[in-house]
Structure 1
Amino acid sequence: MVETAPTRHLGAQISHMLKARGVDVIFGIPGVHNIEMYRGVEEAGIIHVLARHEQGAGFMADGYARASGKPGVAYVITGPGLCNIMTPMGQAYSDSVPLLVLSSCLDETVARRGQLHQMIDQAGAAACVCDWSFEARTPGAAFALIDRALTEFVSQRPRPKHLQIPIGLLGADAEACWDDLYLPGYARPLPIPEQVETAAEALKAARRPLFVFGGGACGAVQAARDVLRLSRASSFCTYAGRGIVAADDTLYFGAYLARPDSAAIFAQADLVLQVGTDMAEVDLWRDALGHTCETIHVNLDAEVLARGKGTDQRIHADSLEFLKALGGRLKDHVPQTTWFEEDVAKTRARWRAEVESERPGILPVLDALRDITPPETMIYSDMTQIAYTALETWPMDWPGHWHHPYGFGTLGYAVPAAIGGAVARPGLPTLAIAGDYGFQYTLQELGTAVELGLPLPIVVWDNAKLKEIEDAMVRAQIAPNAVVAQNPDFCALARAYGAHATLPGTLDEMRMAVRAAFEADRPTLIHVRPGLA
Structure 2
Amino acid sequence: MPDVLTGGAAVISALRAHGITDIFGIPGTHNLELYRYLPASGMRHVVTRHEQGAGYAADAYARVSGRPGVLITTSGPGVTNAVTALATAYADSVPVLAVSPGPPRGTVGSDIGWLHEVKNQQAALDAVTARSIRVETADEVPEVVADIFEGFVTRRPRPVHLEIPVDVLEGSWSARECASRPVPPAVRPAPEAVERVATVLARARQPILVAGGGARGAAAEVRALADRGLPVLTTVNGKGVIDESHPNALGAGARLAEAHRAMNAADVILLVGTELGDSDLWGGSVQPGRPGERFVVRVDLDPAQMHKNVRADLPLVGDARLVLAALLEATPAALASRDERRSGRLRSALDAEAEQAGKPWAAIQFALSQSLPPDTVVAGDSSQVTYYGTVHSWPFTPANRLLYPTGYATLGYGIPAAIGAKVAQPERPVIALVGDGAAMFSIQELMTAVEQRLPLPIVVVDNGGYAEIREQMVERDIEPQGVDLREPDFPALARAMGARGCPSGSEDELAALAAAALEADGPTLIHHRVQPA
Q: Secondary structure at the match of 1:34?
A: helix
Report the counterpart of residue 194 of structure 1 in structure 2.
Answer: 192
How far did 1:143 drift? 2.2
1:376 aligns with 2:375: yes
Report the counterpart of residue 277 of structure 1 in structure 2.
Answer: 274
Q: Is the 8 A contact 1:412 1:438 kept in 2?
A: yes
Distance 1:151 1:370, change over 3 A: same
How far did 1:17 drift? 2.0
Distance 1:197 1:83, change over 3 A: same
Q: Is the 8 A contact 1:156 1:188 kept in 2?
A: no
Paired residues for 1:26-41 under 5 Å: 26-41=23-38
Distance 1:6 1:206, change over 3 A: farther
Amino acid at match of 2:220: Q
How far did 1:367 drift? 0.8
Amino acid at match of 2:457: P
Paired residues for 1:486-505 under 5 Å: 486-505=486-505
Q: Distance in 2 between matches of 1:526 and 1:174?
A: 50
Amino acid at match of 1:305: M
Q: Is the 8 A contact 2:366 2:393 kept in 1?
A: no
Paired residues for 1:46-57 under 5 Å: 46-57=43-54
Q: Distance in 1 between matches of 2:527 and 2:71?
A: 30
Q: Distance in 2 between matches of 1:98 and 1:494?
A: 32
Paired residues for 1:106-505 under 5 Å: 106-107=103-104, 108-111=107-110, 113-179=112-178, 182-230=180-228, 232-292=229-289, 293-307=294-308, 312-330=313-331, 332-337=332-337, 339-341=339-341, 343-389=342-388, 390-398=390-398, 401-505=401-505
Q: Is the 8 A contact 2:230 2:338 kept in 1?
A: no
Cα deviation, 1:342-371, whole Å, max 9, x if unaligned, reads x53344334334333335221111111111
User: What is the RMSD of the two structures over their aligned residues, measured on CA atoms?
Assistant: 1.9
How far did 1:311 drift? 6.7
Amino acid at match of 1:149: I
Paired residues for 1:86-125 under 5 Å: 86-107=83-104, 108-111=107-110, 113-125=112-124
Gaps of 5+ in 2: none
Q: Distance in 2 between matches of 1:464 and 1:129?
A: 32
How far did 1:81 drift? 0.3
Q: Distance in 1 between matches of 2:155 and 2:384?
A: 33
Q: Distance in 2 between matches of 1:308 and 1:118?
A: 39
Q: Under a length normalisation based on structure 2, what TM-score does the superposition of the two structures give?
A: 0.94
Worse overlay, 209-218 or 240-249: 240-249
Q: Secondary structure at the match of 1:173?
A: coil
Cα deviation, 1:30-52, whole Å, max 9, x if unaligned, reads 01111011111111111110111
Amino acid at match of 1:488: P
Amino acid at match of 1:412: G
Q: Is the 8 A contact 1:80 1:117 kept in 2?
A: yes
Q: Distance in 1 between matches of 2:361 and 2:82?
A: 32
Q: Secondary structure at the match of 1:315?
A: strand
Amino acid at match of 1:277: T
Q: Is the 8 A contact 2:226 2:249 kept in 1?
A: no
Amino acid at match of 1:358: A
Q: Distance in 1 between matches of 2:311 and 2:474?
A: 41
Q: Distance in 1 between matches of 2:220 and 2:338?
A: 24
Q: Is the 8 A contact 1:256 1:262 kept in 2?
A: yes
Q: Is the 8 A contact 1:251 1:339 kept in 2?
A: no
Amino acid at match of 1:191: P
How far did 1:399 drift? 6.3
Report the counterpart of residue 59 of structure 1 in structure 2.
Answer: 56
Cα deviation, 1:107-155, whole Å, max 9, x if unaligned, reads 1244451221111100001111100012111112222221111110011
Amino acid at match of 2:198: A
Overall identity of the aligned pairs, in %: 36
Q: Is the 8 A contact 2:56 2:85 kept in 1?
A: yes
Q: Distance in 2 between matches of 1:18 and 1:7?
A: 20
Q: Secondary structure at the match of 1:144?
A: helix
Report the counterpart of residue 80 of structure 2 in structure 1.
Answer: 83
Amino acid at match of 1:376: D
Q: Under a length normalisation based on structure 1, what TM-score does the superposition of the two structures give?
A: 0.94
Q: Secondary structure at the match of 2:299?
A: strand
Q: Secondary structure at the match of 2:322?
A: helix
Q: Distance in 2 between matches of 1:38 and 1:303?
A: 39
Q: Secondary structure at the match of 1:480?
A: coil
Q: Distance in 2 between matches of 1:358 and 1:226?
A: 31
Distance 1:487 1:399, change over 3 A: same
Amino acid at match of 1:490: F
Distance 1:311 1:469, change over 3 A: closer
